[in-house]
Amino acid sequence: MVVQSGKHPAVFLDRDGVLTVPIFSDGRSFAPRCIEDFEFYDDAPESVQALKDAGFRVVVVTNQPDVGSGLVDIAVVEKMHQILMDKLCVDKIMVCYETREQATHRRKPAPGMLLEAALELDLDLSSSFLVGDRAGDIEAASRANVTSVFIDRGYNEERPTQQAVIVSSMESATSWILES
């Protein structure tokens, strides 16, 4: 991996479906709406630590449109993110509360959150990775010149086509990134 001088490689991680277990309904996944439903996949803590140990900055990039639509209070999501920071020790959480109808440059599939994090943390996007479980994650990575890893959770929705690799878990994604 060639890193631009003075810049850091990163791994961008989607939240729900990558680090945390989503709520499933009719083959679709949804973000948990209460703290009691907020739980991590078993492989998340070790995977994040392995990435950090390898020298990556780890940044969560997550759309949380239930806040924008009024279905979840922002304080609940902020509490979830505090739990995530405490348990996984990520470097930064970038969150977009906009719905599809409210979307700006920050909401995935737009690359805004990745670009903002790159500026804030001095990241080299061309030597970075994104791990996501939806087509919008993979498109955001492509638009930011970031290599993407798709975790296929078997959702009943559009599958992406621009990813570098398809895996079945965060552990597999981490192994592939570390071998790259």
Q: Give the active site residues.
A: 14, 16
Spatial CA neighbour of 136 closest among 45, 41, 12, 47: 12
Query: If 0-12 CB within 10 Å is exposed, 13-18 middle and 19+ buried, where does residue 47 land?
Result: buried
Spatial CA neighbour of 111 closest among 88, 89, 142: 142
Q: Kindly report whether the peptide bond that precedes residue 109 is cis, defined as omega within 30 degrees of 0.
A: yes
Q: Give the CA count within 13 Å in the CB-facing half-sphere of 12.
A: 37
Edge-to-edge order in the sheet of strand 92-96: 92-96, 57-63, 10-13, 129-132, 147-151, 165-167
Residue 55 CA to residue 53 CA, distance in Å, equals 5
